[in-house]
């Protein structure tokens, strides 16, 4: 079993829909990262959080340390949100990466 599991692996939705991507982990962590990988391959950090909730524009990230679970939400989704969203957790020394969720938003 992978230490970081993301679900779903693939998600296709219509423009305007509310999107939720989940990340569960099995190790103790000091922080959790959400990143976005564009279709061209570039990777951008979205959030780093260790508790509670963070919001940036239409993106919201939450984490529940007790349940070892985080969610990334996108409100009013748009085709430009189409990308792979990656969850990574920081254990003792290094980041442990999820395999990513491929999101496609159709106009």
Partner 1 sequence: NAGVTQTPKFQVLKTGQSMTLQCAQDMNHNSMYWYRQDPGMGLRLIYYSASEGTTDKGEVPNGYNVSRLNKREFSLRLESAAPSQTSVYFCASSDGRVDIQYFGAGTRLSVL
Q: Does 48 bind partner 1 (CB under 8 A)?
A: yes
Applying CB under 8 A, which of residues 1, 44, 57, 66 lies at the interface with partner 1?
44
Q: Is the dihedral of CA 69, 60, 54, 92 positive or negative?
A: positive
Q: What's the Cα-to-Cα distance from 53 to each of 12, 15, 32, 71, 80, rounded to whole Å? A: 25, 24, 12, 10, 23
Q: Does 61 bind partner 1 (CB under 8 A)?
A: no
Q: Give me the 3-42 binding string for partner 1, x by CB under 8 A, dash otherwise.
A: -x-------------------------xx-x------xxx
Q: Please give the residues from 88 up to 107 whose contact with partner 1 meets the rule CB under 8 A.
A: 88, 90, 93-100
Q: Which residues contact 101 (CB under 8 A, 6 or more apart)?
A: 6, 7, 8, 9, 10, 11, 21, 84, 85, 86
Residues that bind partner 1 in the complex, under the rule CB under 8 A: 4, 30-31, 33, 40-45, 48, 86, 88, 90, 93-100
């Amino acid at each position: 079993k992978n230490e970081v599991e993301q679900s779903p692996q693939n998600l296709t939705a219509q423009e305007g829909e509310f999107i939720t991507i989940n990340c569960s982990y099995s190790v103790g962590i000091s922080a959790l990262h959400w990143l976005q990988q564009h279709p061209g391959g570039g990777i951008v950090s979205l959030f780093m959080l260790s508790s509670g909730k963070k919001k940036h524009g239409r993106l919201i990230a939450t984490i529940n340390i007790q349940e070892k679970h985080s969610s990334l939400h996108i409100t009013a989704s748009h085709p430009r949100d189409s990308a792979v969203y990656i969850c990574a957790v920081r254990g003792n020394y290094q980041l442990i990466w999820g395999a990513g969720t491929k999101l496609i938003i159709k106009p």
